[in-house]
Structure 1
């Protein structure tokens, strides 16, 4: 939608930033900048088997209301800027594994979540991110390789071990042809404990046990944790800041999402 119709809509329903609420773009330049800092996302207690995960920024400050507005308050127009942030996180993996096709595998929403929201918000992010990556020459596409196969209870207040047990058997792999050199990147909006990404990546890895298809993960944001300083030349994990090559900040947290 554009031209006179868009101008009329803006007059009746003025646009505001989903993060800070100021009039203007759906995500202002300042708030978007907070999602242009890709880094390794590491929970406080890393679940065994968690895939290497990159977050575009921290789930804090105005980033948090922007994600909540997109996910829970019907602001589907935020799929564009949040998808661009997710693409930046995925691009870190693409840089480390150049020349390989990238499949973005959205974590599937529960049936209750789909009914409540009327849409699959993570799939929207995957579609937007893949388009952004293709625009800069990365061979990328969304791929619905996971399905929900069970029901889970609310994870609020659960320990990491309890969250993993709660998610056991929740995901199933869909039958689909995957290019032999493709990189599978599980994508979600927010990571905290890492239980969801671990469960999803484990299902994909078991479905392709030959080891030829790496399974990684990327998210829009992760709840921040204190940075542990390391000596010169030491890099924790496998992920680096794609833009500067600086040591990534660690991100995680026990609230709001898995």
Structure 2
């Protein structure tokens, strides 16, 4: 269902649709009706994007070729426990479903920064695989909660919503886990693009705070969209523990090329 504002716009555009018989009789649209039809066309573009998010070709969300590319980014055999190299201090393995490269990179950026929320089901399915791998191989205590890594205030303001939180909540719901917004950014951080591993660690150090009212005594699975140097995941782990929580697992949609498999574990191919 479209948001209320869009629904009202659609109702205002209604007369343009009702004028089809007049068009057939006269062969043209009155100028006011023509303008309304253009407005309605723009509304449809907002609700049902007409370009593939991967290659910009004609498609509703992803064209068949980009779907194949997305599947191709997934690790053979299913998600893997990965660690950045060099790994941040005390960070343990993070389950990732795919490599952060190619089409998946474009799709994640489109989802987060270009407003392509229609891509949520595709990305949620990948994060669901990471959660499933964690549960099957490592085990997650009953009653565990999933806590998404927080975005900066600036990013939330730019995007107008919280796409990563929505992604995490959808994937967690698929495996029967609850999501809690237990972390927040308590200070501003620099844009991490272009920063080296040590610089990212310094940039994010002590930047997150955990809500002890929500996290104390809880078994926590940390979740995010991507892992590059692991600095944010390590900081989130520290913040949860400072708030009295226990981190029992870490998952992401994708890990960057600099990450390596933390250990060699068999995993059923049917989940890949």
* TM-score normalised by length of structure 2: 0.72
| CA spacing shift, 1:15–1:92, aligned 2, 3 Å | same
Q: How many residues align?
A: 227
Gaps of 5+ in 1: 135-139, 228-235, 249-258
Gaps of 5+ in 2: 3-9, 11-42
| CA spacing shift, 1:107–1:196, aligned 2, 3 Å | same
| CA spacing shift, 1:179–1:156, aligned 2, 3 Å | closer
2:83 is paired with a residue of what secondary structure?
coil
1:184 aligned onto 2:220: yes
1:204 aligned onto 2:204: no
**What is aligned with 1:18?**
53
The 1-side partners of 2:140 and 2:237 are apart by 21
RMSD value over aligned CA atoms?
A: 3.2
1:41 is paired with a residue of what secondary structure?
strand
Residue 142 of structure 1 is aligned with which of 166, 176, 179? 179
Residue 220 of structure 1 is aligned with which of 220, 230, 253? 253
**What is aligned with 2:30?**
none
Q: CA deviation at 1:98?
A: 5.0
Kindly indicate whether structure 1 or structure 2 has the higher relative contact order, using CA contacts under 8 Å at least 6 residues apart: 1
Q: CA deviation at 1:226?
A: 8.3
Structure 1 outlier segments of 4+, above 6 Å: none
**What is aligned with 2:106?**
65
In terms of fraction of residues, the more helix-rich structure is 2
* TM-score normalised by length of structure 1: 0.75
In the TM superposition, 1:1-258 aligns within 5 A as 1=1, 9=44, 15-24=50-59, 26-27=61-62, 28=64, 29-34=67-72, 36-37=74-75, 38-95=79-136, 96-97=138-139, 100-134=142-176, 140-177=177-214, 183-208=219-244, 213-225=246-258, 237=262, 240=265, 242-244=267-269
